[in-house]
Amino acid sequence: MWIRPLWVASVLFCISSVALSTPEPTRSEYLLSTSASITFEEGVGAYYVMSFDVLKPPADAIYVVVRYENPEDRKAPLSDEVVIAPGANELQLHSAGFKVLRNRAEYRVELSLYADSGHSQLLGTHVQNVEFNVPRDMAAFIAKRYGVRVR
């Protein structure tokens, strides 16, 4: 039946249109933010999804440490490590899932770029804020559908 996928797509469009806005994209020496949002998936909860243009496609691999502000505990960021392959012109990221969000809040995501896998030769950093803001009725829907509590 094609009605259910269409309904799900419509709901996701409404959530992303209202709930997931991106503050001004940031530019650093190596990256330009092209999208940054918090999205939802059944069984996972909420998670960050981000895309970047690589402004200087690298001749050698660039090792990236990503620190996402953890909405459940600011003192314990969600971390990830990825590699920008030689010649790459874009980077896409997503975080681990989480189950709590503050409404009307901005969350900070920081990328540290290194020339080596041991993370001793810092090339630069890139910071992008991600805004989350939904109406109360949408917060109730998110809690029921995705198991994410919106405070």
How many folded domains does the chain comprise? 1
Which residues, in sequence order, are CB contacts of 83 under 8 Å at separation 6+? 61, 62, 63, 64
Q: Does residue 4 surpass a pLDDT of 90? A: no
Mean pLDDT, to the nearest integer, of 51-76? 96
Structure tokens at 34: 């092209």
Model's pTM, two decimal places?
0.83
What does the pLDDT read at residue 24? Answer: 84
Distances (CA, A) of 140 to 145, 146, 149: 9, 10, 8
What does the pLDDT read at residue 15? Answer: 47
Show the domain range for 85: 3-150
Q: Does residue 36 surpass a pLDDT of 90? A: yes
* CATH code of the domain containing 41: 2.60.40.10
Element (H, E) at 6: helix 3-18
